[in-house]
Amino acid sequence: MSPTKLYWEDFEAGQVRDLGTITPTREEIIAFASQFDPQPFHLDDEAAQASVFGGLCASGWHTCAMAMRLMVTNFLNNTSSMGSPGLEGIQWRKPVFPGDTLRLQSTVLETKPMGRRPDLGMTRNLWEMFNQHGDEVLRMEGWGMFKRRTPLPSDGL
């Protein structure tokens, strides 16, 4: 962990961060799908070739989980993150195939104080994941909660 931990006050709209890459193997794609999304096109080459995807591809939830891994390791664990209440949208725009190199990028869209909590603030973010061809495979928008470096005085509420 870097010593320069990021608090809510450090975020502002327009900040773009490159959060690194991850490359799922065929074995990892099948292992995830076997446990959580056992649809034929995530498990079996023949069924996948006959599907709209054209080949064995990762569960959309696996793609989200890989994006989360990059977000945690390369960003959240160096911040005062307090979790997320949810997302406003997820789009699985292209299939993810074994051996694809996926790069995650985050953009801060908006920051705001958190109503009842003088010690916390929120940020709205766009997360985009691209494959090695530059195609966007995943697009998510959602909120994160972070501790403030300096809590508001309680009479400021």
List residues binding a copy of itself (CB under 8 A): 32, 35-39, 41, 51-53, 59-61, 64-66, 68-69, 72-73, 76-77, 81-92, 142, 145
Taking the complex as a whole, the smallest distance from the CB of residue 98 to a copy of itself amounts, in Å, to 17
If the CB atoms of residues 14 and 116 are measured against a copy of itself, the closer one turns out to be: 116
Taking the complex as a whole, the smallest distance from the CB of residue 65 to a copy of itself amounts, in Å, to 4
What gap in Å lies between CA 125 and CA 119, rounded to an integer?
20
What gap in Å lies between CA 123 and CA 155, rounded to an integer?
23
Taking the complex as a whole, the smallest distance from the CB of residue 153 to a copy of itself amounts, in Å, to 21
3-state secondary structure 84-152: CCEEEEEEECCCCCCCCCEEEEEEEEEEEEECCEEEEEEEEEEEEEECCCCCEEEEEEEEEEEECCCCC
If the CB atoms of residues 88 and 155 are measured against a copy of itself, the closer one turns out to be: 88
If the CB atoms of residues 12 and 50 are measured against a copy of itself, the closer one turns out to be: 50
If the CB atoms of residues 14 and 52 are measured against a copy of itself, the closer one turns out to be: 52
What gap in Å lies between CA 37 and CA 32, rounded to an integer?
7
3-state secondary structure 46-58: HHHHCCCCCCCCC
Taking the complex as a whole, the smallest distance from the CB of residue 102 to a copy of itself amounts, in Å, to 13
